[in-house]
Amino acid sequence: MGEALLSRLIEQNIYSPNEIWVSDPQPQRRDFLASEYGINTTADNQAVLAADVLLLAIKPQAFEAVTSALKIPPDQLVANQLVLSILAGTPLARLESAFPGQPVVRAMPNTPATIGAGMTAIAPGQHAQASHLQIAQQIFAAVGEVVEVPEAQLDAVTGLSGSGPGYVAVMIEALIDGGVAAGLPRAIATQLAIQTVRGTAELLQTSGMHPAELKDRVTSPGGTTIAGIAHLESSGFRSALIEAVKAAYRRAQELGK
C-alpha cells in the first residue's frame, strides 16, 4: 500500500521524487525504490523526521519499535507535522500517545488503491485541523476516492470497503464457476464475469442510479434474471453479504482492543 501511494503521488505530480524519503530496514527494498522512483531512501527512521508529512505504512506489530525510534523532544519537532497512519487496528488514541501534540489522521484504504481505484476512509485526531485533512484528502485521492468519517465508524469501513474486495472476488469466482457449469469455457466465463461486475459498478457510479432501480430495469416478467434473483434470495445471498460485513466489523473491533 505504501508503494501504491508513492507511485501515484509521483505520477500525478503531487510530490516530486526528491521531496520523498522512505525509511526501510531492508537494503534490497531501499535499492529497488530508489532505482524505480528516484526517491531518497534511508535505514534510519530519524532521517524522515524533517518531513512535513510522516506516513506510517508499517505492520501493526512493528508500531512500538518504529515509533520509539521517532520520539524526539517537542522543541525539535517540525512545526505542524502531519502524521498519517494506515495501520489496521491501531486507534487514534494510541497514535496520539506516540506523537503527543501532533496532528494525526488515521486512514483505512483498500487493495484496489494499488491500481488507483481504491476507497479510503480517513478519521482526524483531536489536533488535526482543516488544513491537515486537506493534505490527507489530496494524498489518498491519488489512489482513488476518499471519505471522512468519525473514528467510531472505521471498523464498519473495514468490514465493508476494507474487506469488500475479498467478498467481490469470491462472488466473481462463483459467477465464473456457474458459467463453466452451464457449459462455457473457463476463459470466456472469466472475461464475462469480470467485465459484468466492472461494468455494473461503473454504471451505478456514473448514473447515480440506486442498485434496486438497476435490478428492476433488468428483471422482465417471467424472465431469466428474476429467476436467478429468486434463487439468490432463497439461498440467503443478500443476508450472507450483510452478515459478512457485520462479522468483519466485529473482528476489526476485536483487533483494535
CA distance 88 to 111: 13
Q: Are residues 235 and 213 in the same domain?
A: yes
Q: Which grid coordinates are listed for 88?
A: 489496521
Cβ proximity of 123 and 149 under 8 Å: yes
CATH number at residue 125: 3.40.50.720
| 81 inside domain | yes
| 67 inside domain | yes
Give the per-residue pLDDT at 76.
55
Total domains in the fold of the chain: 2
CA distance 73 to 85: 21
pLDDT tens for each residue of the chain, 257 residues long: 889 899 999 999 999 999 999 999 899 999 999 999 999 999 888 878 778 899 999 888 888 888 887 776 555 556 678 999 998 888 999 999 988 889 999 999 999 998 999 999 999 999 999 999 999 999 999 999 999 999 999 999 999 999 999 999 999 999 999 999 999 999 999 999 999 999 999 999 999 999 999 999 999 999 999 999 999 999 999 999 999 999 999 998 887 77
Q: Are residues 138 and 77 in the same domain?
A: yes
Q: Which of 113, 129, 151 is the last residue of a domain?
A: 151
Most distant CA pair in the chain: distance in Å? 73
pTM to 2 decimal places: 0.87
CATH number at residue 210: 1.10.3730.10
Q: Are residues 88 and 144 in the same domain?
A: yes
Backbone angles phi, psi at 175, to 5 degrees: -60, -40
Taking CA 127 as the corner, what is the angle to CA 143 and CA 43, rounded to the nearest 5 degrees?
Answer: 55
Range of the domain at 190: 164-255
Q: Three-state DSSP class for 39?
A: coil
Q: Which grid coordinates are listed for 67?
A: 515509533
Q: Are residues 145 and 231 in the same domain?
A: no
Q: Are residues 251 and 144 in the same domain?
A: no
- The residues near 112 (Cβ < 8 Å, ≥ 6 apart) are 118, 119, 144, 165
Q: Are residues 105 and 231 in the same domain?
A: no
CA distance 192 to 4: 28
Q: Which amino acid is at 230?
A: A
Q: Are residues 176 and 58 in the same domain?
A: no
Q: Three-state DSSP class for 108?
A: strand
Q: Are residues 73 and 172 in the same domain?
A: no
| 232 inside domain | yes
* β-bridge pairing 82-85 and 104-108: parallel
Q: Three-state DSSP class for 81?
A: coil
